[in-house]
Amino acid sequence: MNEHVAAAGTIADEADVIVVGAGPGGSAAAYHMARHGLRVLLLEKTEFPREKVCGDGLTPRATRQLIRMGIDTSEKAGWLQNKGLRVIGGGVRLELDWPELASFPSYGLVRTRLDFDDMLARRAVEAGALLRTSVNVTGPVLDDDGHAIGVTAKAGPGREPVQYRAPLIIAADGVSGKLPLAMGLAKRDDRPLGVAVRRYYRSPVRADDDYLESWLELRSAQNSDVLLPGYGWIFGLGDGRVNVGLGILNSSSAFGKTNYRAMLTDWLGTTPPEWGMRGEEHAEGPVLGAALPMGFNRVPHYTRGVMLVGDSGGMVNPMNGEGIAYAMESGELAAEVAVQAQARSAGADRERALQAYPTELKLRFGGYYRLGGMFVKLIGNPQIMRIATKHGMPHPTLMRFVLKLLANLTDPRGGDAMDRIINGLTKVAPTV
């Protein structure tokens, strides 16, 4: 035993797997592992329910993962279902229904993260995971070979130092990625990065919309001839409120040089007064922001006893900024691999099983994320974006293809001509 192990305080629970972070990725991983009989310890630094910035609007890809966790996604259960995406740009307003596919449901969902994350964590507990809240993980416990065998943390109201032990750790600690950083895994600067800001408004006019709404062009209230950088969204929460926000990518020359909160206010000044999104009168809560780590911007996704899930491994889709679906998918995949690995003897045989995780992630998303990186570079050029919006928006068939591509919604086998083109492109693209 080395000094890393000896100096860190009381040893608390021991488990087969420790999951750090009870967001969608961590709770999905914990649920699927517990359901297969592993002893799972799920550590969360805050208390539930707790607020998160992004992710109230879910595509059919995320909806499928909820169904796989046995969650009732009906409107009776408190969800607001949506039919598709309404796209606004180039003087055109186009409603695109989610595609009808064998692989994904034909509806998306809306629910605030305040409810959503709490629900997923409870589902993991129902499956048998042990959830410990107010546990702030500070780093890994390493053996003499530099292999993680647990984590150090500060727990409870007194923030007492404590250790938790397990032969496998899943880092689902979000964009900060403190645990991966402590393992020497820094972010890659050559991958796309986004920033999103959002605010809630009370808007009975827009609160029950059955489409998610995407604005490809943002105009300034100060001068309607000025095109603001980035893209915007508006969607109803079904409770009298709307989620309104905007995002910008690091391929834009304005990235890092813009007051995003002021830009959100400026854009909302162009919306109709009856929507209630101008000024402070109908605002609820502050403008909040978050980084969107995209395209596998932290690798490898498994090393020395630690697997990376969701934002911790930079798994946000560069095409549309969606993170929850990929957090939950990677969590389920990590669980499948962990279950297989746990059934093998410790050592080389188990390590071979664990290496299946980064390999399978690359197969599933590597080519698609490479395409996403190219897409980000293109739309970062305002001239290209303007031309694409002007000439693409008037063509519904083309826009349906774009929706499938951006939302990553195709049938992998069979499907229509659009599916085959998109699947073909992701196969020939070099993986990231």
The pLDDT tens digits for 161-181 are: 999 999 999 999 999 899 999
What is the model's pTM?
0.94
Cβ neighbors of 284 (< 8 A, separation 6 or more) are 199, 200, 201, 202, 241
pLDDT beyond 70 at 101 = yes
Minimal CA–CA distance to 328: which of 85, 60, 48, 46?
A: 60
Provide the b/e sequence for 420-430 (b: ≥16 CB within 10 Å).
eebbeebeebe
Q: Report residue 407 as tokens.
A: 């939302």
Q: Average pLDDT in the 16-25 region?
A: 97
Instruction: Transcribe 265-281 into DSSP letters.
Output: HHHHTTS-GGG--SSST
Q: What is the DSSP letter of 160?
A: E
Residue 39's alpha-carbon distances to 90, 361, 362, in angstroms, are 54, 24, 28
Q: What is the DSSP letter of 187?
A: P
H-helix or E-strand spanning residue 121: helix 113-127
Taking phi over 0 as left and psi of -120 to 50 as alpha, with beta for the rest, 108 belongs to: beta
Question: Model confidence over 152-166: pLDDT tens digits?
Answer: 999 988 889 999 999
Percent pLDDT > 90 in the chain is 83
Question: Model confidence over 134-143: pLDDT tens digits?
Answer: 999 999 999 9
The C-alpha atoms of residue 344 and residue 239 are separated, in whole angstroms, by 49
Please state at what angle helix 24-35 crosses helix 324-342, rounded to 10 degrees. Answer: 30
What is the pLDDT, as a whole number, of residue 16?
97
User: Phi and psi for 164 in degrees, rounded to 5?
Assistant: -125, 140
User: What is the DSSP pairing of strand 148-155 with strand 135-142?
Assistant: antiparallel
Residue 6's pLDDT band (cuts 50, 70, 90): very low
The C-alpha atoms of residue 335 and residue 129 are separated, in whole angstroms, by 12
User: Phi and psi for 254 in degrees, rounded to 5?
Assistant: -85, -10
Q: Average pLDDT in the 11-16 region?
A: 82
What is the pLDDT, as a whole number, of residue 135?
96
Question: Model confidence over 219-269: pLDDT tens digits?
Answer: 999 998 888 988 999 999 999 999 999 999 999 888 989 999 999 999 999
What is the pLDDT, as a whole number, of residue 9?
62
Minimal CA–CA distance to 29: which of 328, 307, 326?
A: 328
pLDDT beyond 50 at 5 = no
Minimal CA–CA distance to 299: which of 189, 194, 166?
A: 189
Q: Average pLDDT in the 123-129 region?
A: 98
User: What is the DSSP pairing of strand 306-308 with strand 302-303?
Assistant: antiparallel
Q: 333 in helix, strand or coil?
A: helix
User: Contact, 135 vs 44, CB < 8 A?
Assistant: yes
Q: Average pLDDT in the 186-212 region?
A: 94
Q: Report residue 215 as tokens.
A: 């604005």
Domains of the chain: 11-81+111-189+295-374 (3.50.50.60), 193-293 (3.30.9.10), 381-428 (no CATH)
Minimal CA–CA distance to 231: which of 108, 341, 85, 127?
A: 85
Place of tokens 């932290």: 298
The C-alpha atoms of residue 405 and residue 419 are separated, in whole angstroms, by 9
pLDDT beyond 50 at 7 = no
What is the pLDDT, as a whole number, of residue 315?
97
Percent pLDDT > 70 in the chain is 97
Question: Model confidence over 350-385: pLDDT tens digits?
Answer: 999 999 999 999 999 999 999 999 999 888 877 888
What is the pLDDT, as a whole number, of residue 31?
98
Place of tokens 């410790």: 346
The C-alpha atoms of residue 134 and residue 111 are separated, in whole angstroms, by 24
pLDDT beyond 90 at 82 = yes
Cis check: omega of the bond before 229, within 30 degrees of 0: no
User: What is the DSSP pairing of strand 84-89 with strand 211-215?
Assistant: parallel
Q: Which sign, positive or negative, has the C-alpha torsion 136, 21, 125, 58?
A: positive
The C-alpha atoms of residue 167 and residue 163 are separated, in whole angstroms, by 13
User: Contact, 139 vs 47, CB < 8 A?
Assistant: no
